[in-house]
Amino acid sequence: MFSNSTHLRLKQHSHRTSYYASNEVAFTKSLRQTSSNILGVLTLAAR
Range list of H helices, 1-47: 2-46
Q: Over 90: is that where the pLDDT of 5 sits?
A: no
d(CA 15, CA 8): 11
d(CA 5, CA 28): 35
pLDDT of amino acid 27 = 92
Over the stretch 14-33, which tens digit does the pLDDT of each residue have?
877 888 888 899 999 999 99
The model's pTM is 0.51
